[in-house]
Chain A
């Protein structure tokens, strides 16, 4: 009798549990930073895109997990011979989450808003070539450019260019209304944001019914939340030292991919002694990249020799140009007249790649006679003094914007590299739309900055995601800071 009862109870419990597992259609995703507000078109904060990009908001084009750009709300487009007119054909029958239709008027509204005088779009510069946006018919939009722009389709995929509606723009910061496969449900500030499946989605519907984003900034808390299984996925996991534990545990999977973050030791090219290319070359040779990757990033990261993402097909490996060679570094310093080395400052923003990496770099520089005084700064302070004030010697920062080699053509950019030939090259590149030509020119650009030793190029930041073993369809790379849940499912 006793056996029978426990048998029945046991099978009931098993049946209940099996039911619960099969019905799992929600997911809890953790990330470090909370979005300040929910408008991807008026802030640079990556956390906004993490939650909303592709899930809630969509643009004319979109990034896929492998970094490619594919049609989004536009199903196709035509580019005129002179490269000055783009005609986009929109999907028909697309509605916003509030039920209003998405048509060419909304596209015009969204793009005009980026270029308006009082625009607060963080990437306004990417779209400055757009001179006019015309509505041809409800599903056709014509974009006119003042000069050809080979990057337009790529730039339109950014979260800063998603399509928003005039009807809902006033409350977008608290109540985002997009066209995506998920709609916004709620935001408990400081704790979580919830989104739910959009039943009226125009494309392939999401497999999940519900998703919760949680914000856990402390690395130890991040580890505990995964281990306690409070969260299902942790994107950009902040405690790489704990990864072996997750890899060894069958309950979890660890996804390691690439980001668009070129981590560099930036040098102030206009300030002595870094205005001397020999000194910059010496710094580049003084640095042992692998030691930094191992010591600061626990082995996660790909060495780079120029300002370009290694996973990009146009990448050229220039690491040999700045191979670790302290003797050569000392010789170069002597040639430049710094036999006894010199003193400089090293400003370090908060991320661990900078703080931990900075300690190692300072030690490596000391070995060749360069004394780098470490100065830990908060981001706001870094933006003010280093980025805007250009008041620095050395600094470590990861440039997470995709395809941003063009910043080297701006002599006012914080590291102040001023090479007219390079500026001409980038100006030509921007006007080139032929893919093969572009690849060739991008290769040339990478070579020029590597040979000029503008900065010391360290490594490409790795994208590290820890997830429950059953989660499928997550991006392992991070071509943009998005946590695209539209294709995520639970394995049975």
Chain B
């Protein structure tokens, strides 16, 4: 087990190092100078040079890469070119919107998908199953930004139950924050719920066809009892994998939803930083997202090993 973990840990470190190099190169290669973006078209050459010096942009690319990576290792993400505040603080502030939103959406998607998936599997081939499958088909097909706009149209413009966007801040109270995140969370959650419900259903159906399920029926349990006691637990493994993947997706993939609801989250920060060529912010946020995906995968690997002893011995 220890050897397995060390091996995983080493590959994690290599992934991160490669990712940092790729991110830095790709972002620095794109044309566009942050200083000329800041100062616009009337800027004098000596003014641009002064700003570049102030921002530390006159150092060589290698020096800048090393100082960036060195900073990351010590938790110092550098100073934003445009905002001129520490990047770490900016990311932390945005995390207070993006993380709760991702968790909220994940919770909603799970709460919708579980009953829907179980319901459809239990009524396989019947009208209920077809209804749920049709609805999930639609959920997968509908783009979430369009769905978000429809939500705004109905619940903000017509019914006035929610604001059309923006975030009041957690200092206005827990429920005010939850209220502000509700529409975006629903918009994010539904397509994910549709995917999850389909996985839940098919995984449950696979399990229901297993020999031990027949044995359970044979020893006298009702259909419902076999489903809940033996089926569900075994069907859960692929579902949990999908949930893990979805969390990374929800954290990184909410850029469009944050635009539609003008939420001050991580996605919007990246969006603004890209157009302003605030390279250091883009690099650090992308690195953080890569880090979170790699860490989640690492944890999933460990969880597999814990669940399935065969994986441990193979390593």
Q: Given the complex of chains A and B, what is the CA–CA distance between A254 and B218 in angstroms?
A: 74
Using A188-B169, A214-B262, A228-B152 as known contacts, say yes or no to A123 and B42 having CB atoms under 8 A apart: yes
Contact of A228 among B32, B94, B164 (CB under 8 A): B164
Using A224-B157, A228-B157 as known contacts, say yes or no to A190 and B50 having CB atoms under 8 A apart: no
Q: Given the complex of chains A and B, what is the CA–CA distance between A171 and B260 in angstroms?
A: 33
Q: Given the complex of chains A and B, what is the CA–CA distance between A285 and B97 in angstroms?
A: 53
**Please, could you name 23 A-B residue pairs with CB atoms under 8 Å apart, sorted by A?**
A37-B82, A37-B83, A43-B39, A44-B40, A44-B43, A120-B39, A120-B51, A124-B44, A188-B264, A190-B263, A190-B264, A190-B269, A191-B166, A191-B169, A214-B166, A217-B262, A220-B260, A221-B152, A221-B259, A221-B260, A227-B156, A227-B164, A384-B36
A389 → chain B, closest Cβ, in Å? 9
Contact B36 A224 (CB under 8 A): no
Contact A228 B264 (CB under 8 A): no
The residues of B that contact A383 with a CB separation of less than 8 Å are 32-33, 36-37, 41
Quick one: CB contact mask for B153-168 with A, threshold 8 Å, 1 for yes?
A: 1001100100111110
Chain B residues 262 to 278 lying within 8 A of chain A, measured CB to CB, are 262-265, 268-269, 272, 274-278
Q: Given the complex of chains A and B, what is the CA–CA distance between A37 and B93 in angstroms?
A: 16
Contact A119 B33 (CB under 8 A): no
- Which bucket holds chain B's interface residue count? 35 or more
Residue of A nearest to B274 (CB): A378
Q: Given the complex of chains A and B, what is the CA–CA distance between A174 and B80 in angstroms?
A: 13
Contact of A44 among B32, B34, B39, B278 (CB under 8 A): B39
Q: Given the complex of chains A and B, what is the CA–CA distance between A214 and B164 in angstroms?
A: 13
The residues of B that contact A221 with a CB separation of less than 8 Å are 152, 164-165, 259-262
B38 at the interface (CB under 8 A from A): yes
Contact A122 B43 (CB under 8 A): yes
Quick one: CB contact mask for A110-130 with B, threshold 8 Å, 1 for yes?
A: 000000011111111110000
Contact B157 A378 (CB under 8 A): no
Contact B260 A218 (CB under 8 A): yes
Chain B residues 1 to 58 lying within 8 A of chain A, measured CB to CB, are 30-34, 36-44, 46-47, 50-51, 53-54
Tally of A-B residue pairs with Cβ under 8 A? 152
A312 → chain B, closest Cβ, in Å? 19
The residues of B that contact A188 with a CB separation of less than 8 Å are 169, 264
B289 at the interface (CB under 8 A from A): no
Q: Given the complex of chains A and B, what is the CA–CA distance between A384 and B54 in angstroms?
A: 20
B34, B164, B261, most chain A CB atoms within 10 A: B164
B149 at the interface (CB under 8 A from A): yes
The residues of A that contact B272 with a CB separation of less than 8 Å are 34, 190
Q: Given the complex of chains A and B, what is the CA–CA distance between A330 and B40 in angstroms?
A: 37
B103 → chain A, closest Cβ, in Å? 19
Contact A380 B164 (CB under 8 A): no
Residue of A nearest to B146 (CB): A220
Contact of A173 among B41, B43, B84, B94 (CB under 8 A): B84
The residues of A that contact B90 with a CB separation of less than 8 Å are 189
Contact B163 A191 (CB under 8 A): no
- Chain B residues near A (Cβ < 8 Å): 30-34, 36-44, 46-47, 50-51, 53-54, 82-85, 90, 93-94, 97, 149, 152-153, 156-157, 160, 163-167, 169, 259-265, 268-269, 272, 274-278
Q: Given the complex of chains A and B, what is the CA–CA distance between A126 and B34 in angstroms?
A: 22
Q: Given the complex of chains A and B, what is the CA–CA distance between A119 and B152 in angstroms?
A: 46
The residues of A that contact B33 with a CB separation of less than 8 Å are 380, 383-384, 388
B39, B163, B265, B277, most chain A CB atoms within 10 A: B39
Q: Given the complex of chains A and B, what is the CA–CA distance between A305 and B90 in angstroms?
A: 46
Contact A387 B259 (CB under 8 A): no
The residues of A that contact B36 with a CB separation of less than 8 Å are 380, 383-384, 387-388
Contact A44 B153 (CB under 8 A): no
Chain A residues 207 to 250 lying within 8 A of chain B, measured CB to CB, are 214-218, 220-221, 224-225, 227-228, 230
Closest CB pairs A-B (n = 5): A44-B40, A380-B32, A190-B264, A36-B82, A228-B164
A379 at the interface (CB under 8 A from B): yes
Contact of B41 among A44, A230, A378, A385 (CB under 8 A): A44
A132 at the interface (CB under 8 A from B): no
A452 at the interface (CB under 8 A from B): no
A401 at the interface (CB under 8 A from B): yes
Contact B165 A230 (CB under 8 A): yes
Contact A119 B166 (CB under 8 A): no
